[in-house]
Amino acid sequence: MRALRDALGQFATGVAVVTAATGRGDRLGVTVNSFTSVSLDPPLVLWCLSRRAPSAPAFAEAGRFAVNVLAAGQEHLSRRFATPLPDKFAGVETVLTPGGVPVLAGTLAHFACRTVTTYEGGDHLIFVGEVEHFRGAPGEPLVFHSGSYGAFSVARREAMSGAAMAG
């Protein structure tokens, strides 16, 4: 199992925090790297959560969620929402979406969604949501590769683009 996990870790991913609120007003948050777009028409995204995660039942019942794409330098948010804490939101600035979902301030982008369906996928739940509201900002993404955080720089991207054009 560890060898498979190490091999999968060779695929660099972005880092996001998925947030939600329960009907009682409790806020939920979890760090994920399993986020992707599914469709533009209708606008659908998906993310995955371990069935063993303590927040899995609450996310499944929430009906809405937001995917917060972290920027370079926001490792502290990734670590905070990946750690079991009594209040993951303590000291974290948030804003409510029109649907009442908390989003993290200062992220690279967020996608507020209505949960369309949830699938069982082995030891994970796959959440598919329709994007109801989104925001994007310029900046560099937080990247995760081989168990470490990093950033994808514009200078490196421009150098790679120029090399590809020359080839």
Q: What is the pLDDT of residues 79-114, one digit of tens each?
A: 999 999 999 999 999 999 998 999 999 999 999 999
C-alpha 78/C-alpha 154 separation (Å) is 22
What is the pLDDT confidence band of residue 153, given thresholds at 50, 70 and 90?
Answer: low
121 contacts: CB under 8 Å, gap ≥ 6: 48
How many Cβ atoms sit within 10 Å of the Cβ of residue 29? 25
The two counts, helices (H) then strands (E), for the chain are 4, 12
Over range 131-152, report the average pLDDT.
88
Mean pLDDT of the chain: 90
Domain ranges of the chain: 2-166
Neighbours of 31 (CB within 10 A): 19
Whether the predicted pLDDT of 116 surpasses 80: yes
Q: Which residue has the higher pLDDT, 7 or 125?
A: 125
Q: What is the pLDDT of residue 149?
A: 78
pLDDT band per the 50, 70, 90 thresholds, residue 162: low
Please state the CATH superfamily assignment of the domain spanning residues 2-166 in this structure: Electron Transport, Fmn-binding Protein; Chain A (2.30.110.10)
C-alpha–C-alpha distance, residues 35 and 28, integer Å: 17
Of 95, 110, 109, 89, whose CA–CA distance to 30 is shortest? Answer: 89
- pTM for this prediction: 0.87
Is 7 or 166 the better-scoring residue by pLDDT? 7
